[in-house]
Structure formats: structure tokens, C-alpha cells
Amino acid sequence: MRFFTVKPVLTLKGRKFKGLRGWSGKPTHPPLTDIPIGAYVLGAVFDVLSLIGGEGHAWTEMLWHAGTFLFAAGVIVSVPTALTGLVDRQTSSEPGTQAWRTINTHAVMMIVVTLAAIANTAWRWSIYSDRVYTPVAITVLSVLIALVVAIGATFGGSLVFDYGFNVETAGDHPVWHKSETDVFHDD
């Protein structure tokens, strides 16, 4: 019995290209979200640890710097993430539905997070070399960003896992049947 399958998951053969949305069955938005979410949460953790450590430790300054770079990376990736999410909203949801309202809630939360992360990053860069540990106010802002991004991501996850948003499935799909033959998207 075969233990692994790789090629059907990685191939784009038989998948329709949908522009910024990605390919059928391989959307662009969901994998992009991982970077800002991870960056903001990890950046907040680094800020809390840096603040707790305070002055007199080289590692607190390293965490302050690492947190700054994490927030900058999150902001950079937030732009294509937001664009692909907006395209998904415009092309895959109908106004007046629960899914559409959930998308709007998710989008507003993530826009607030992105704007707060831009402010956080700009503030950090303005004092980057003057600090040896993360300031209290920036740490509080970072933690708030991490909390809101986690809640906003929960709404996004609910769209996929609860509502099946942009998930291309076919009820009784052959991948759930015992077989030694891999099924490709165009089969």
C-alpha cells in the first residue's frame, strides 16, 4: 500500500487560472495570511519578552529588533494578502448572505490590524536605534494587534472550514475511496 502522494497536490494541470484569486482549488489568499498572522503574533511575544527582560540584557535588544523586522515583514505581505482577499470578496460572495457579512467582519478587522501594524512599524523605525528593549506603549499596541489578528483570522478560518468558502469539492470525491491510483484535479 502506498503511504504518500505528492504530485496531485502540487500540480496545476487541469486547474483554471483565476487571476489574483489563484487557481481553482489553489486560492492565493489563504497561504498569504499565514505570514502577517505569524509575524504579528510572534512580534508581540518578542516585545513582551523584551519588555520583561528590560535593560542590561543583550537578548532584549535582539528581541526588540527581531520584533521590528517581524512587524515590517507582516506589513509588506499584508498588501498582497488584502488585495487577494478583496478580489475573493468581490468575485465569490453575494451581498446579503451570512458568508458576505462574515467576510465583511473579517475584512474590517484585518484592515484595522494592518493600519495598526503600519503605525506600529513606523513608530518602531522612528526609535529603532535609540532603544535597548521594547517600550511599554509599543508592547501594548503589539499585543492588541496580535489579539485582533487572531480573532480576525478566526473569522477567515470560519469562512473556509465552516462555510466552505472558495473550497472546490464534489461531495463523494474519489480521494476518499480506497485506491492505489492518485486522482488529479482534471480527472
- Judged on CB neighbours under 10 Å (0-12, 13-18, 19+), 9 is exposed
Mean pLDDT of the chain: 89
| 46-76 residue pLDDT tens | 999 999 999 989 999 999 999 999 999 999 9
Question: What is the pLDDT confidence band of residue 81, given thresholds at 50, 70 and 90?
Answer: very high
Q: What is the pLDDT of residue 144?
A: 98
Q: Is the model's pLDDT at 137 over the cut of 60?
A: yes
Question: What is the pLDDT confidence band of residue 6, given thresholds at 50, 70 and 90?
Answer: confident
Distance CA 125, CA 134 (A): 12
For the chain, where are the alpha helices, taking DSSP H only?
A: 7-10, 29-53, 58-92, 98-127, 136-161
SS (H, E, C) 9-55: HHCCCCCCECHHHEECCEECHHHHHHHHHHHHHHHHHHHHHHHHHCC
Q: Which three cell numbers stand for residue 42?
A: 510572534
What predicted TM-score, i.e. pTM, was given to this entire model?
Answer: 0.86
Q: Is the model's pLDDT at 170 over the cut of 60?
A: no
